Amino acid sequence: MPQSNSLTGQKVVLQRDDVFQLLTALRERGYCVIGPKLKRGAIVYDELNSGADLPAGWTDTQDGGTYRLQKRRDNALFGYTVGPHSWKKIIHPATRCFWRAKRNGDGFESLGQEREPTKLAFVGVRACDRQAIAVLDKVFLEGKYVDPTYKSQRENVFIVAVNCSQAGGTCFCVSMGTGPKATFGFDLALTEVIENGAHYFVVEIGSTRGAEILGGVPCKEASSEQLAAAKRVVAEAAAHMGRQMDTTDIKGLLYRNYENPRWDNVAARCLNCSNCTMVCPTCFCTTVEDVTDLTDDSTERWRKWDSCFTLDFTYIVGGSVRASALARYRQWMTHKLATWIDQFGTSGCVGCGRCITWCPVAIDITEEARAIRESEAVRKEQHDPHT
């Protein structure tokens, strides 16, 4: 059994049901374990009270505007891709009370923040979502202004990554260089192998505390055959991506195409519902609301997720900066794939496909990027057919 930090980077094997003991070991060390669970017709991230909460034998099928659960033929514990939730909902929650105060005589007494950080274990973090957490870390932890509430929660997260064994119909992590294998920033990374009657997990140890947690869980050194099987699982997922995104000079492409007629086309279809920004694991925009009660005895300041798809988001001095649907979709997609790179040194898109699956009219960021690239190529051909 792993006992020391010298085991970081080593790979061991856990039998399927021994994953339940891993969850128990995390709970015994004080972690609140969050992982995949069936809820209201989807696989979402929620507190796991035991291994029985995992979506054993379930998978999802996804396409533009479509998400369905299905029974699998096997009893896989992590045999799905990603659902509507991302880890953003926990480390950057949809609503957060920053401050509250109550009247005290002629003045006010500050009651401070709503809650303290909890020790959390994220179980089932996909490679694309691990990259999304890294993107949020850049936004909230790097640069001049650090978000103290994000920082205190983020420092209390133990990450159990799970490499993908299948790709969803809207996944394109391979194009974005973010998956399907987790390569950094995990305490443990699991690959689920089901073949020839065997069902086990190859576990890569990513940190000292990862090795310590495994110390109380029955595992064995991985054989060369088991390591090869885990590699095949990930290669199979990589070979079956539902979508592709050509990222060649994507920043320049979008900067050159602010006036492309394709923006009119997508604006005619977009409902401005903001689903895409809500499900996106990296969209981080918020608004702030101050709330006072009717008696004027208490007041609260809340931060809430906002979206660049709403008119209010850019409302200043009597009007919205981005008044049209065209301007709002163009802003979102250009930020994700181009201006984000200037702002944070990385793409704002990790290729998870959620915005495609959960768009009610199946608008597809890969298809929109392709259409803009193709129309630019046609324009070039018409202007200079000899280049």
Shortest approach of ligand SF4 to residue 322 CB, angstroms?
13
Shortest approach of ligand SF4 to residue 370 CB, angstroms?
14
Shortest approach of ligand SF4 to residue 154 CB, angstroms?
19
277 contacts: CB under 8 Å, gap ≥ 6: 283, 285, 305, 307, 308, 309, 332, 355
Select 161 or 355, whichever has its Cβ closest to ligand SF4: 355
How many Cα atoms are found within 13 Å in the side-chain-facing hemisphere of 226?
Answer: 19
Write the DSSP assignment of 73-88 as a string of letters.
SS--SS-S---S--TH
Select 11 or 336, whichever has its Cβ closest to ligand SF4: 336
Select 156 or 272, whichever has its Cβ closest to ligand SF4: 272
CB environment 242-258: b (16+ within 10 A), e (fewer): bbebebeebbebbeebe
Run of H or E including 332: helix 325-334
Select 100 or 181, whichever has its Cβ closest to ligand SF4: 181
Select 111 or 371, whichever has its Cβ closest to ligand SF4: 371
CB-based contact 214:205 (threshold 8 Å): yes
Q: What interhelical angle do 325-334 and 365-383 show, nearest 10?
A: 100
DSSP code, position 338: I
Q: Say which residue the tokens 């923006």 belong to.
A: 263
Shortest approach of ligand SF4 to residue 260 CB, angstroms?
16
Cα 280–chain centre separation: 7
Shortest approach of ligand SF4 to residue 324 CB, angstroms?
13
Residues that bind ligand SF4 (CB under 6 A): 270-276, 279-282, 309, 336, 349-355, 359-361, 363, 365
| C-alpha–C-alpha distance, residues 371 and 349, integer Å | 18
Select 119 or 138, whichever has its Cβ closest to ligand SF4: 138
Residue 356 in tokens: 């495609």
Select 242 or 353, whichever has its Cβ closest to ligand SF4: 353
Shortest approach of ligand SF4 to residue 348 CB, angstroms?
7
